[in-house]
């Protein structure tokens, strides 16, 4: 566990890259040293503070989903943000690793790719233009692609690519994406009897980020996504709220739509 930070560290935006029509990477200085899969609380002054995965030690990769990310999207090079972090546990891998990313969920996995720790990457997106980091990933490891509309790679879900992959060949399967996607991945791993090899990066509403307030506590074990996670092994997620519901800012349960039938659905990303 890294030391719990005190005041937010001011960073200056040095570059903004439009990755896809809905996703931007904000490069900042100074860098925040971190392990792959750790996250930071990003303070957008005057607006809010939100949890964000680090896509590198000096970047966050963001999809516009709510007020704070919309405000972030109005920011320019030279503007300042406050960063608290790195926070959480991150992915811990050795040997041969399969990464599975959906949508903006590829962001925390990029750090793992950059560290040379991924053998094969299954990348999914709604459509070709929304594929995130494909050239960067392809330069480092084997990349396989699926799109919901079939405009690139396999026509279908990233989980369909799993059916063409020998999962048992991998020591670790690191996963980040919409929860509905991740629960399907866990289902595949469970069927292959290797749920414990899965490492899933969860997204829950967070207020404090340091394990005190309890807003991201999960059922039934009361584990905190911000401090005990955000990465949890697949076996620890069986028989939990994972894939069933999340909570809003007040703490009320918000149920995910039922899993079946398996038709493409736009994932609901909760920011507030």
- Binding site residues, other proteins, CB under 8 A: 4-8, 10, 41, 43, 45-50, 80, 82, 84, 207-215, 217-224, 227, 247-253, 272
CB 227 to other proteins: min, Å: 8
With b for 16 or more beta-carbon neighbours within 10 A and e for fewer, the 1-15 pattern comes to eeeebeebbebebee
Which residues on adjacent β-strands are paired with residue 247?
Answer: 253
| CB closer to other proteins out of 80 and 96 | 80
Question: Among positive and negative, which fits the CA dihedral 53, 243, 2, 141?
Answer: negative
CB 45 to other proteins: min, Å: 5
102 membership: H or E segment, kind and range: strand 97-102
Q: Is 198 helix (H, G, I), strand (E, B) or coil?
A: strand
| CB closer to other proteins out of 136 and 210 | 210
Q: In terms of C-beta distances under 8 Å and separation of at least 24 residues, what long-range contacts does 27-33 make, across chains too?
A: 27/58, 27/59, 28/58, 28/59, 28/60, 28/81, 28/83, 29/58, 30/58, 31/57, 31/58, 32/57, 32/58, 32/83, 32/85, 32/86, 33/57, 33/86
CB 64 to other proteins: min, Å: 18
| CB closer to other proteins out of 45 and 156 | 45
CB 36 to other proteins: min, Å: 24
Q: What's the maximum distance between 2 C-alpha atoms anywhere in the chain?
A: 50
| CB closer to other proteins out of 184 and 224 | 224
| CB closer to other proteins out of 192 and 208 | 208
| CB closer to other proteins out of 58 and 247 | 247
Alpha-carbon dihedral angle through residues 226, 231, 232, 237, given to the nearest 10 degrees: 80
CB 92 to other proteins: min, Å: 20
| CB closer to other proteins out of 41 and 182 | 41
Alpha helices in the chain (DSSP H): 67-73, 106-114, 134-138, 158-162, 179-191, 234-237
């Amino acid at each position: 566990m890294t030391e719990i930070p005190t005041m937010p560290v001011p960073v200056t935006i040095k570059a903004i890259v439009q990755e896809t029509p809905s996703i931007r990477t904000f490069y900042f200085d100074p860098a925040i040293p971190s392990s792959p899969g750790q996250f930071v609380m990003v303070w957008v002054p005057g607006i809010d503070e939100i949890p964000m995965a680090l896509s590198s030690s000096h970047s966050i990769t963001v999809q516009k989903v709510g007020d704070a990310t919309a405000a972030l999207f109005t920011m320019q090079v030279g503007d300042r943000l406050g960063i608290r972090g790195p926070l959480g546990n991150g992915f811990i891998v050795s040997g041969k690793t399969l990464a599975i990313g959906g949508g903006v969920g590829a962001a925390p996995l990029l750090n793992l790719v950059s560290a040379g720790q991924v053998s094969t990457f299954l990348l999914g997106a709604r459509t070709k233009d929304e594929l995130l980091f494909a050239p960067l990933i392809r330069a480092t490891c084997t990349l396989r692609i699926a799109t919901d509309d079939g405009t690139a790679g396999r026509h279908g879900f990233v989980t369909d690519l799993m059916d063409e992959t020998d999962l048992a060949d991998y020591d670790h399967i690191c996963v980040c994406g919409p929860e509905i996607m991740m629960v399907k991945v866990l289902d595949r791993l469970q069927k292959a009897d290797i749920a414990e090899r899965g490492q899933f990066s969860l997204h829950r509403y967070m207020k404090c980020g340091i394990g005190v307030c309890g807003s991201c506590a999960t059922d039934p074990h009361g584990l905190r996504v911000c401090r005990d996670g955000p990465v949890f092994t697949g076996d620890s997620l069986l028989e939990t709220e994972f894939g069933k519901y999340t909570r809003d800012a007040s703490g009320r349960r918000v149920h995910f739509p039922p899993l079946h039938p398996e038709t493409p659905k736009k994932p609901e990303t909760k920011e507030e």
